[in-house]
């Protein structure tokens, strides 16, 4: 039994730094080309080098996604991309295409190669085939059950690592191989440009009543014909570890620093807590850890395919958002409980705020006062990225995420 890695997403430098601050073991990200999330800011080579240096100083790892399905016209750009990424210090490439896999071996042989979930690995023979040509890790298809993962683990060499998605959005198509976006918008999901039409609202019409559109609503948010729930395996870390999973992957490179911080914090504590109690047959994850994941914007949670066929979310296809991030603590509280914050959403003096520190339990504070950079007292924090001095009734550690419960 091996303690699994907590692998967090980063779509920009702020999310990357947040993942490290909340103690991810590794972070996966994309460069400006060949990644599956063009909606993210992603990383220039200069930013990638800086991020790798930060991670390695903390003995953390960085995995670079190269998991689009490139066309012929894309391939001449690949050698230089791989070589520059290797020079930046990335620890692994995440690859879906066999040709790119071979090019990575040729142009950056020192970098590990991991097989993306886009590779559709759903059986041990497929995993073995990739291992035999040099793969260090396989990211299994989300469609696999836990018992199938355990069997796969038993039939492959110990040296071949297994990575599974454990949290976040799930594509309605097999292993993300979707053509709906291409058909409806011309944006190719297999090249990182999915428009997510499976999340849109739809209406029906009857062919003899042209121009009349009929919503078949489950609620006032509309009808979600394709809508899947979000994956959440926070209560099943023991089962994942016992099945032989080496890396627990959090989806979300297109999401915010706040999402990255909360999910990383929750899975970090869940893994550490289980590992300290792994000999206890009746172990259950602490309720506060589960509750943390209710404080981010999400769709209704499910366990995906791990325990059988998942259901569609038909009661409420929209997002559940109980909290908003309102600030980040840039400088921790002094002896007078005054900290320096950067505003992200409006809040008021007198508000009760929920604090998520980089290491430890969340807790509540009262905002007793705010001052701007001129030293003037202000009643609220209305401006994005405004720097403020906040007085509270309890000390706030540097790096904490500050949030407020929605009405």
Q: Among 166-175, 324-333, 385-394, which is the least confidently predicted range?
A: 166-175
Verify that 252 and 400 share a domain, yes or no: no
User: Which domain CATH number covers 44?
Assistant: 3.20.20.70
How many Å apart are CA 264 and CA 358, to the nearest integer? 10
Is position 338 within any domain? yes
Question: What is the DSSP secondary structure assignment for residue 312, as one 8-state letter?
Answer: B
User: Which domain CATH number covers 401?
Assistant: 2.40.30.10
Domain that holds residue 271: 5-173+227-302
Verify that 158 and 72 share a domain, yes or no: yes
123: which 2 tokens? 């059986």
Verify that 169 and 131 share a domain, yes or no: yes
- Alpha carbon 335 to its chain's center: 36
Last residue of a domain, one of 249, 273, 302: 302
pLDDT of residue 300: 86
pLDDT of residue 328: 98
Verify that 337 and 401 share a domain, yes or no: yes
Domains of the chain: total: 2
Mean pLDDT value across residues 259-281: 97
403: which 2 tokens? 């949030």
Verify that 26 and 129 share a domain, yes or no: yes
Verify that 96 and 232 share a domain, yes or no: yes
Alpha helices (H) in 171-286, listed in sequence order: 180-185, 237-242, 257-276
Verify that 77 and 153 share a domain, yes or no: yes
How many Å apart are CA 42 and CA 40, to the nearest integer? 5
Nearest Cα to 66, choosing from 88, 34, 44?
34
3-state secondary structure of 393: coil
Verify that 150 and 240 share a domain, yes or no: yes
Transcribe 267-311 into DSSP letters: HHHHHHHHHHTTT-TT----HHHHHHGGGS-BPPEE-TTTTSPPP
3-state secondary structure of 138: strand
Is position 182 within any domain? no
Q: Among 40-54, 102-116, 329-343, which is the least confidently predicted range?
A: 40-54
pLDDT of residue 183: 65
pLDDT in tens, 60-115: 999 999 988 899 999 999 999 999 999 999 999 999 999 999 999 999 999 999 99
How many Å apart are CA 46 and CA 51, to the nearest integer? 9
């Amino acid at each position: 039994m091996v303690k699994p890695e907590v692998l967090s997403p980063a779509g920009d430098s702020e999310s990357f730094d947040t993942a490290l601050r909340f103690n991810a073991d590794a972070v996966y990200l994309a460069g400006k080309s060949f990644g599956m999330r063009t909606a993210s800011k992603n990383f220039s080579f200069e930013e990638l080098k800086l991020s790798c240096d930060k991670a390695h100083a903390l003995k953390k790892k960085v995995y670079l996604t190269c998991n689009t399905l490139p066309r012929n016209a894309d391939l001449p750009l690949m050698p230089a991309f791989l070589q520059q990424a290797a020079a930046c210090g990335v620890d692994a490439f995440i690859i879906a295409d066999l040709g790119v896999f071979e090019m990575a071996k040729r142009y950056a042989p020192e970098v590990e190669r991991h097989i993306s979930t886009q590779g559709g690995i759903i059986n041990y023979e497929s995993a073995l085939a990739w291992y035999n040509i040099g793969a260090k890790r396989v990211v299994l298809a989300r469609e696999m059950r836990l018992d199938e993962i355990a069997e796969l683990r038993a039939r492959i060499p110990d040296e071949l690592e297994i990575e599974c998605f454990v949290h976040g959005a799930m594509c309605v198509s097999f292993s993300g191989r979707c053509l709906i976006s291409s058909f409806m918008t011309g944006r190719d999901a297999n090249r990182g440009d999915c428009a997510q039409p499976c999340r849109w609202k739809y209406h029906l019409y009857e062919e003899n009543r042209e121009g009349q559109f009929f919503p078949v609503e489950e609620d006032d948010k509309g009808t979600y014909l394709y809508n899947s729930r979000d994956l959440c395996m926070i209560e099943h870390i023991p089962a994942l570890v016992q099945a032989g999973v080496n890396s627990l992957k959090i989806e979300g490179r297109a999401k915010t620093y706040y999402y990255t911080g909360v999910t990383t914090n929750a899975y970090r504590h869940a893994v550490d807590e289980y590992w300290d109690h792994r000999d206890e047959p009746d172990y259950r994850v602490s309720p506060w850890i589960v509750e943390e994941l209710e404080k981010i914007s999400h769709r209704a949670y499910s366990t995906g395919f791990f325990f059988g066929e998942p259901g569609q979310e038909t009661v409420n296809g929209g997002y559940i958002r109980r909290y908003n991030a309102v600030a980040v603590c840039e400088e921790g509280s002094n002896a007078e409980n005054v900290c320096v914050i950067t505003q992200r959403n409006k809040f008021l003096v007198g508000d009760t705020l929920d604090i998520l520190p980089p290491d430890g339990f969340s807790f509540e504070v009262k905002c007793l006062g705010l001052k701007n950079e001129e030293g003037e007292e202000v009643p609220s924090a209305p401006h994005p990225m405004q720097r403020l001095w906040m007085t509270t009734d309890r000390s706030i550690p540097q790096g904490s995420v500050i949030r407020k419960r929605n009405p």
